[in-house]
Structure 1
Amino acid sequence: MSKRQNISSGSPREPILGYSRAVRVGNLVFVAGTTSGGIGDTAAKQTREIFTRIENALTQAGATLQDIVRTRVFLTDMADFDAVGTVHGELFRDILPVTSTIGTTALAAPDILVEIEVDAVLGTN
């Protein structure tokens, strides 16, 4: 059985809410729903910050963006779909993970416009 590796971002919310930023089991890495922490005043800017944070978690797990096989994008305003999709496309046009985009009425704070989670499989690139 593969050993579990919990990866923390250092957020004080992780122990309070009982979650890890990412978990690696064997060659699988699951990254929790990630926000920009309010950095960025547009959905596109927040998306860029989110993928920087996701990439940091993946690096700690021994993975890269190229190992991502699935993304899930949550938007508070579906009018931001194209702006977020353009950033996603810039990052993943050669990787082509499966993706879902879900509209939601709210995220963790009013200034959070986007939340993204990913699944990665090491050795797929």
Structure 2
Amino acid sequence: MSTNRQNISSGSPREPVLGYSRAVRVGNLVFVAGTTSGGIGEDAESQTREIFTRISKALEQAGASYEDVVRTRVYLTHLARDFDAVGAVHGEIFGEIRPVTATIGVSELASPDVLVEVEVDAVLA
């Protein structure tokens, strides 16, 4: 493994079993894995708020912040129903930052109660 690479863990027992990191920093690039609410929140808006709390912690561990985010990807199991609510939370966080983004409808995520998954990429100046 490159000495220029920093693997960041959330402490989830699933990470070593499944062979992934919550985030990886390589040089000035930070990639945060698809993040869910871990079962916290009954609707897409509350799940999204929890997800961005988790993403913020991962970015901070990598020496980054929301201001460094250049791309987001949002996966929704109910695109038409939840797009506006999730988009509003995204807008609260990234309204002035304005990263490129994609919102993708998917048939299912890790479990039936997971409505939203988000991943982000950041570049440190």
TM-score, normalised with respect to structure 1: 0.96
Provide the residue aligned with 2:97 in structure 1. Answer: 95
SS at match of 1:107: coil
Can you give the 5+ residue segments of structure 1 that lack an aligned partner in the other structure?
A: none
Q: What is the Cα deviation at residue 2 of structure 1?
A: 6.7
Q: Which amino acid aligns with 1:114?
A: V
Q: What is the Cα deviation at residue 38 of structure 1?
A: 1.0
Instruction: State how 1:2-81 maps to structure 2 within 5 Å.
Output: 3-78=4-79, 79-81=81-83
Can you give the 5+ residue segments of structure 2 that lack an aligned partner in the other structure?
A: none
TM-score, normalised with respect to structure 2: 0.96
Instruction: Decide whether the 8 Å contact of 1:38 with 1:111 is kept in 2.
Output: yes
Give me the whole-angstrom Cα distance separating, in 2, the residues matched to 1:13 and 1:86. 30
Paired residue total: 123
Greater than 2 Å deviation, 4+ residue runs: none
Moved more, 1-10 or 38-47: 1-10
Provide the aligned C-alpha RMSD in A.
1.0
